[in-house]
Every structure is written in structure tokens, then in C-alpha cells.
Structure 1
Amino acid sequence: MASSTGARDAGTGKAEAGGAEAGPAGTGRAAGLSRFRPRIGLAPLRSRGYRLLVIGQGTSEFGNAFQVVALPLLVYSLGGGARQLSLVVAAYGAGRLAATPLGGVLADRFGAWRVMMAADLGRLLATAGLCAVAAGGAAAYWLIGGLALLVGLGAGVFLPAAWAITPTLLPAEELHAGNALNSTVTFAAGLLGPAAAGPLVAWLDPAAALGLDAATFAVSAATLLLIGRRSLVAPPRPISERASVPRNFRVLLRESPLLRAVLTVTVIANLTVGGATRVALPALATDGFAAGAVGLGLLLAAFTGGALVGGLFAAGLTGVRSRGRTAMRSGLVMGAAIGLVPFTGLVGAVLLLCLAGGASTVTNVLVVTGVQKSTPPALLARVMAAVTFCGLGVFPVSVIVAGAAVDAFGSQGVFAATGLCLLGAFGYALTRREIREL
């Protein structure tokens, strides 16, 4: 539910319902605990389609880091400044936000595979255009911003479809582990990508980095082509189909208190976490810990590294009695850890952010499996688009509010308030019967 510090999928922690089926009614607590054996679940990798999907998305995520590093250097190398760069970045963000609901509608109507393929090919062409502009050396900022907008549109269309396709590639019993492994690969790519992008851009130039990013979209499209339009495994029959199936998303939203609760928690979580990590954390590293850029990099890497480990841990959480309770309790751990970050020194903050990152991934994996299993397939992409939109849409507000709050109360106050908001949000979710009974 809470966003990570990654730029590409900020706010993509997603949730709605359920998870793997609980044990039979009346199963005792001891029996439920006896089935709980955290371990790394690699069974999904036996499915060819899923394996190709992970390779493609991991490669694409790795390539995104090169664009993140190359675009600022491209703007500055052409004589631009912070104003021009902010417009380019804003164009990308606006395109991604605007296209996310459209991506859900298109994926439900035409199929996730077709939408993902079109999005990858579109981003390939737009990124190749950025590469050409960089190689030509012309200071056409309007063109750079326009191409960045197209890349953002492709990302927004792609995201809901990517969540919707996974249940069609795996048996129901492997879906949870598959989501966890996918998160692990994504965070690993996000951790390694910037480390590789910086030296390469410095050694070569922005055009080469953008060309490499375009090539990663080609790899993603190629893996989709190998998967093919036919799913290897039929999507699981959702719980909601045992009764009447809502006709559209609006009906589902009206009839599902669970979906409304999840969207509420998603908004609250992302409204606070984004500003804390993007605004308050740099201020804390610079002023509070006097650690500078090196300390900030270490703190950001701690959250991402923790999220990576959390994905591996979450892959083994297939025997918990209530995914809802476990997910919300993990969210409470994240809230407590983030709230204490400024008060433990640099080393303590690194450890707490690592814990928060791991807890965030555990929460996200548990709940995203639920939405995939218990939402009617015809509405799945739109539901995922709604949850994604709730995360992405509040991010600009989050960073603006955090900036004002840091000036007024300091970074310590922002982290403390963020922790309290997260504790309140996940605590509220635990009071909801529909969450507790997942």
C-alpha cells in the first residue's frame, strides 16, 4: 500500500482483498502456525511465461535507472537549468498519472498482453527519440519534454496491465510467491541500476545511456512476444464470482467496503511516505546527521535493500492464517520504524529504514495477491489502476506538504508525523472486519 522510494513505481504498493485461501473453518491457532514456514519460494520460476515476464520487467526496470541519470545530464549539457529539468520531469509524471486509469480500462477491454506490448513498443520509440535528440546536441527542450511525456504515458498504461497479467501465468497456489519474487527482482534492478548508470553516463554520454534504456524496452517486448497472447494457466476463479459479478468498477467500488478501505489506507500511506523519503530524508541526512550525499545514498539504499530482502521473505509467507492481519501488522512495523528514524543516529536510521523497506514489501505482496485472487478478472486491471492512481496522485501533494513541514517543524517532526499517520492508517485497517477476515 505504501510507496517505495523507487521513482518508477512510486505508489505501486497495491491491495484489495484476500490472498491465499485460509485453512478450513475452525482450524486452531497452533495448526495455523505450524504451517507457517518462511522460505524462499522459487516454484513460480518453473512456469515459462512467468519466468519470461520477470526477465523482461527486471531488465526494463534496470534500464529505467539510466534514463533517470541521463535526462538531467542531457538537459544541463544543452545549457538548461533546474527550470527546464523540472518541466521535463513534470511532463513524465503527468503523463504517467493521466494514463494509469486509461491503462486499466484498456487492459480489461483488450487484454493485458496487448496493452503491455503496445506500451513497451511506444516507450521504445520515445526513448529512442530521446537518444537521437541527445546525440544531435540540439537544445530542443520542448521536444525532450514531449518525448518524456510519451514515456510517462507508456508507463502509466503499462502498470495496471502488468499486475493483471501475472494471475494468468501462474497456478493460484503459486501466485503469492510469484508476486514476491517479482517484487524482489524489481527492487534488485532498482538497487543495481543507479550504481551502473552513474559510471556509464560519466564514461560515455547521455545518448549512450538513453540508447541502452531503449534496448531494455526491446528486451521486455521480446519476452512478451515469447509469452504470446495465450496464457499458460487460466486465471483463478475469483471468490467474488461465486455470487453476482459487479457490472463495472463503479458498482464494485460501491458494493465493496474492502476496496474502499484499501483505497483509503493507500491514500493516507502514500500521502506521508513520499514526502518523508523525498524531502525530509535529504534534509535529515544533510542537517540532522551531517552525512551529506554519501549518507543520503546509504539511507536510500537501506530502504531499497530492505525491500529486496522483504520480497524474499514474503515469498515464504504462504501458510499464515490471515493475510489481512499479517499485512496490516507488517504495516504497523513499517510505521513505527519510519517514525523512529531521526532519533537513532545514522546507523540506527539505516537499520530502521531497512526494516521499514522489508515490512513495506511484505504488506504489498500479501495484499496484491488478494486483489488478483478475489477481483473479477474483467475488472482486475481497473482495480489495480485505481490503487496505483491513489498512490501516484497524492505524491505531488506529499512532497509539497513535506517541504513546508520541514521548514516549519524540521525533518524530525515530519518523520514522527509520518510514523503516526502510518500507525493510524494500518491500525484503522485492522479494525475493519473485511480486512481481519482475509
Structure 2
Amino acid sequence: MAETADHPQTSAERLISTTIEYTWLLWLVGGLYIAGPALGWVLAGACWVSLYLGRVEAKAIPVVIWTWLAGMLALLVILWVGHANFELGTGKTIKSSVGWAKGWALIALFPLAGALLDIRAEVIYRAVCRLGLQTLILFPVFLAAPFVGLPEQLWVSPLKVLGGAGPEYFAVQLYTIEPGVGTPRWQFFAPWSPAAGMIGLICVLLAAQEKSIGWKTIGIAGGLVLALFSQSRLALVALVVIMPFVWWVSRLGKGYLWLLAAPAILALGIVGPTLLELIDTAVNEFSAARADSSRVRAALGRIAMLRWETEAYWFGHGVVENGPHLVEYMPIGSHHSWYGLLFVKGLLGAIALAIPLAASFLTLLVKAQSRKEAGVGLALTMALVLYSFGENLEILAYLYWPALVIIGIMLRRNERPENERAQGGIPGTQYA
């Protein structure tokens, strides 16, 4: 019997689909932080084997993927230089290098796998929808937990000894109580609530591409639960902004849109001052929604910028440092990829991320003019851009990696014909 389009048919597809669908189980045992990096390097190994055996040629790797590989490798070299400049020692250098392998490296390895291996986007869309179904089934437990007396945290997995990160990455957390407000907030399988908002946004963007109306509805609903109940302000803004933006820029070549835009631009010039006032009010209300959080984020950014400019301009400090009491001892540059990069890896580190991110956005923008499916890659790239100003992208790569695989798929030079795919071509990934 013929397999359906969304059924995993290669080893790479099975690994990806199973990992996504086992997200909640992995969270329960504290294995999510380990599973993401492990999968990334396994897929990278499959890419290397296929290149070594000549099943796939290096020229099949898109130029943009090369920029990601070069940029993330540059971050490792910059890390070593920063450690040497501040004489941090061999032990810290090895620890930071392992951290790079579990974070920044994944941001290049997963797009590489998507571009090179036999992985179909439809498999990922369906797996995300199945994850959404599980989320909807479990959601009543999370919703009721703070009101029936269940503890905020059930346990911290002993697997934390293998991860090297903080306990929050291995904690089974049902909910948290918002400081100063006393209301519950949910982070689901993410290490903190805004991260859950980011994952919810990505799930919505991926599930929206599912062809089955039933699964699409379930997947989007599951993603919305993550985004809305995380109470992430950035997730709400991104949900409203990204899809209309991508729809518009994907049709830049359509003359009728420019004709429609002309009166809108004229009207904008008339009501511009009033609109600016409304935007300013909205920004103030956005910050006031969590005044303490906004204050801490702003202070962390100021400290990061000052110390970057005065102490480690080119290569950064090499490691993350905790801030003073003013910022509740939170890591300097956290909650912001660019501040974090400038502080830890200097101006060169920020450039190493900016170039491949901009190249991906522009390439997918061009592709979206002629390939409708490239729009999802553009939307996911825009999500990464937005969240680079609210989260540290590298520390959450172990969660949002399905988006990176899809971006890689959409950056492929050419789609391989179905008859070629059926012949295999990548060791261990032939059709079952």
C-alpha cells in the first residue's frame, strides 16, 4: 500500500518525526535538552557520510547554508580568542566549547540537514500537529494545577548532570506564579514562559502548512495554547505581525498590490502623527504590562553595551557573567541575542550571526516571489529575527530546531524529483 505524503519514509524523517512526537515524554524525563543536540549531530553525521561516499555533492549545499556553517564556526574561534584574552583557562574553554556544540552549532547543522538530506516538510508539519494534539490533551492538567494545589515543580531530572546547563532545562514545571502579581503563568515544556511563547508561535506557523484541515486545526490550536498561556508579549505581537507581513512581501512583484498600496500610503501620510502617538502609547503599555521585567531587560542591555564597548570590543568576554543586584543577578546580555553576543563574543560575534540571518531572510524573500511554499521559511526566519531581540537564540535551539530544518528545506538549490528520492541516495535514509 502506498504511503501517505506525511508518513516518515526515510531514517532522517523517522528520527525527526519521532523526536517531535515524543517531546512531552522527553520533557517528563528531562531529556529534551539532550535530545535536540544529539539529533542535530546525528543528522550532521548523516550529511558527512553522504558527502564522503559521494551520494551527494558539496555543490548541493546552498550558499546560504555555507554562510551559516562559516558563521557558527567563526563563533567557536571567537570564543577561543575571548577565553585566551581573559585567561579563563582550559577547563572553562572546554566547557564553553561544549556549550557551543549544544547551541550555536545547531543553528547551522539543522538547516544543513534540511537542505541536504531526504526530509520532506510535510512530515514535520504532521508531527507538529500530533504534538499539538498531545498539548491539547494535557492542557487541562496544567490549567487546573495552580487551582487544585498541585506543586509548581514536580521534580528535576537527574539527567541534569549530563547537560551542564541550569536545572530549569531539566525541571518538570507545571506552572509558575508571576512575581508581584500572584497569577499563574505556564511554560509547558520550555525552560521559561517566554520561550514557550516562541515555541507556540513556531508550532502555529508550521501547523498552518498542514494540508489536512482536521490536523491543521488541531496543530494551530495546540500552538496557540502554548503561545497564549505563556503570556509572552512578544509571541502575541509576532502572531499578529508575521503572517500578514509574509503575505505582503511574498507578492512584491504583483502590480495590483502596489496600486492598492498607493491610497494607503497617502492616508498614512495624513494620519501619520496620530498613528505615531498610538504606537508610542502601545509601546508604553507593552512595557508596562510587566514593568519589572521590562526594567530588568533594559538594565541588562545597558550593562552589556557599556562593558562590551569599554572592556572587550572585538572578541567579547568569552563567558556569561551574572549582573548586579539591580538586575536580580541575571546573566548580562540575557533576554537578547545581540546584547548577549556583544558581551560574550564582541562585535565579530554579532556580525557572525547577522550575516547568515540576513542572507537567509533575503534569499527566502526572493524565493517566495515564485515559490509559495518558501513563504513558511521566510516566516520562520522572521520569527528568529524577532526573537533575537527577546531571547538568546542559541540556548533555545534545542527546542525550535524543527523550524531550522524547514528553513534548510526551503533553501535547497533544487527539489529532487520523486523518482530520484525513491532511489535513496543517502546512507541509512532509503525508503522503507
**Superposition TM-score tier, normalisation by shorter sequence:** under 0.3
Larger RCO, structure (CA 8 Å, separation 6 or more):
1
Structure 1 length normalisation: TM-score?
0.25
Q: Which one has a bigger Cα radius of gyration?
A: 2
The structure in which a higher percent of residues are helix is: 1
